[in-house]
Amino acid sequence: MEKYYLAVDIGASSGRHMLGHIENGKMELEEIWRFENGMKDHDGSLCWDLDALFREIKTGIRRCKELGKVPVSMGIDTWAVDYVLLDEKDRVLGKTYGYRDSRTEGMDKEVYKIIPEDQLYGRTGIQKQSFNTIYQLMAVKKNNPEHLKRARTFLMLPDYFHFLLTGEKRSEYTNATSTQLVNAAANDWDRELIRRLGYPEDIFLPLSQPGTAVGNFKEEIEKEVGFSCQIVLPATHDTGSAVMAVPYGGDHSLYISSGTWSLMGIESRNAICTEESRQRNFTNEGGYEYRYRYLKNIMGLWMIQSVRRELEHTYSFAELCSMAAKSSGFPSRVDVNDHAFLAPPSMIRAIRKMCAQTRQPVPETPGELAAVVYESLSDSYRETVREIEVLTGRVYDTICIVGGGSNADYLNRLTAEKSHKKVLAGPAEATAIGNLVAQMIKNGEFDSLEAARRCVGQSFSIREYKPE
């Protein structure tokens, strides 16, 4: 009888339930549920609809029972930085803001009044992003201090969903590091920093590693979905899970977890918290077995996703790639990491405005717009490779691209061409696979992450691109 494992992978635009099992030495995947997600305008704020998300989580779990494929364990991963504050009755305090909401504007300056930016990086190793949890909590302190006073528990979103399923509260390490409140040397909450910032220290729970068993479904959940199973923590930060599924790691490989964001970096046993690293805006996110994900956050496919949406989904991503290739001679480039592209009312207008401001030809056709995005992204990848090699003192010969963006053939070819590195693309379902890997290691399917990665490389199609 097959042993099934369930990964619930929720991204900023959609979520899916993926069942996995091992068959003849290979991992087999089956998508059994998919649903839409997105930030909603709530009285002028960008927020997540937690009730709707939890209904979808339970619907997908029920689907396992309907298919007769009840998992032995499951785990949930999501994007980083967003959280809930719970009161003494475990009710959510205030709105559940999305990271693109504007409330964090100016909060970095408030934080730096208490601890200078360079000292903050030296302690946490986390790059400055205006939406990091540290700045979100400062916005609460400034605008809704009563919420911090009433708060009894702080949970990142996947931890909150695990709590709703089991009644047990856990804080998972990899996602916690994205808050910019975890000490990179101690691999634990920086409680001195938390006290200095004026956040209540006792709301932050002890940190648990991926592979930790949380508990079984609550009785009411078991009745609702038709069975019970164990919750095992994956790397609840979706990038943490995706990197666990990089099939060809090692000292000579870089990775790009390519989706809404492009996370480009290496796996390191030591955090790199130097001033040069901070100046170049690299981050040291926590990974499985305290392996640091030393990487740069690049805007990613959010730009082309937004362009496609504004074009009313007339073209598939594959068609946009093809159109970009045909417009490859269009010369304009933009800085994909410019704040102008974070949450513009219109991505197309933002791209055109940036080109006009920098006195470059303004893209008019869908192909020209796509060419600007893909060429600019690959330029950013090339520069990031150079930075990583300078900062680590190592030369890398391979870039492993995982996640949905690994299907962007044109972007993969540009990346190989501009970086002068071999590119290995796939698997596309890396986040769900990495989520399953953590559960499978816990249950004895693999004896190590390295063994799991070998299995991933043998189980899924990996495409190779060589530099011209």
pLDDT in tens, 62-109: 999 999 999 999 999 999 999 999 999 999 999 999 998 999 999 999
> What residues contact 193, with CB distance under 8 A and at least 6 apart?
115, 120, 123, 124, 181, 183
Same structural domain, 80 and 183: yes
Q: Is residue 446 part of a domain?
A: no
Indicate if 253 and 374 belong to the same structural domain.
yes
Do β-strands 292-298 and 283-285 pair in parallel, antiparallel, or remain unpaired? antiparallel
Does residue 466 fall inside a structural domain? no
With respect to residue 292, please indicate whether it lies within any of the assigned structural domains. yes
**In a 3-state reduction of DSSP, which class is residue 238?**
helix
CATH number at residue 8: 3.30.420.40
Mean pLDDT across 29-43: 94
For residue 286, which of 384, 365, 179 has the smallest C-alpha distance? Answer: 179
Whether 29 and 174 map to the same domain: the answer is yes
Report the pLDDT value the prediction gives residue 250, as an integer from 0 to 100: 67
447-457 pLDDT, tens digit per residue, is: 999 999 999 99
Distances (CA, A) of 93 to 66, 114, 144, 387, 388: 35, 25, 10, 41, 41
Report the distance separating Cα 241 and Cα 436, nearest Å.
9
Q: Is residue 261 part of a domain?
A: yes
- Pairwise CA distance, residues 360 & 64, whole Å: 53
Considering the domain architecture, whether residues 55 and 136 belong to the same structural domain is answered as yes
Predicted local distance difference test score (pLDDT) of residue 12? 87
Same domain? 313 vs 213: no
Q: Does residue 18 lie in a domain region? A: yes
Q: What is the pLDDT of residues 206-229, one digit of tens each?
A: 999 999 999 999 999 999 999 999
The three-class DSSP label of residue 133 is helix
End position of a domain, from candidates 182, 208, 236:
236
Report if residue 452 sits inside a domain: no
Q: Is 158 a member of any domain?
A: yes
Tell which residue, 190, 198, 227, 232, has the closest CA to residue 215: 232
- 265 and 211 housed in the same domain: no
How many domains does the chain contain in total?
2
Q: Which of 159, 238, 251, 379 is catalytic?
A: 238
CA separation for the pair 451, 445 (Å, rounded): 10
User: Do both 215 and 281 map to the same domain?
Assistant: no
Instruction: Check whether residue 335 and residue 371 sit in a common domain.
Output: yes
Same domain flag for 180 and 126: yes
Residues in the chain: 468
- Would you call 220 exposed, middle or buried from its count of C-beta atoms within 10 A (0-12, 13-18, 19+)? exposed
Q: What is the pLDDT of residue 249?
A: 65
- State whether 214 and 343 are in the same domain: no
Domain limits for position 77: 4-236
Rounded Cα gap, residues 446 and 41, in angstroms: 44
Q: What does the pLDDT read at residue 270?
A: 92
Within 10 angstroms of residue 340's Cβ, the number of other Cβ atoms is 16
Annotated active-site residue 238? The verdict is: yes
Confidence tier at 129 by pLDDT (50, 70, 90): confident
Same structural domain for residues 211 and 339? no
Phi and psi for 188 in degrees, rounded to 5?
Answer: -150, 165
Reported confidence tier of residue 276, pLDDT bands at 50, 70, 90: very high
Q: Of 236, 260, 290, at which residue does a domain stop?
A: 236
Q: If you ran DSSP here, which 8-state letter would residue 204 be given?
A: S
457 falls within a domain:
no
Same domain, 274 and 140: no
| Per-residue confidence (pLDDT) for residue 260, from 0 to 100 | 85
Of 213, 236, 259, which residue sits at a domain end? 236
Q: Is the pLDDT of residue 406 over 70?
A: yes
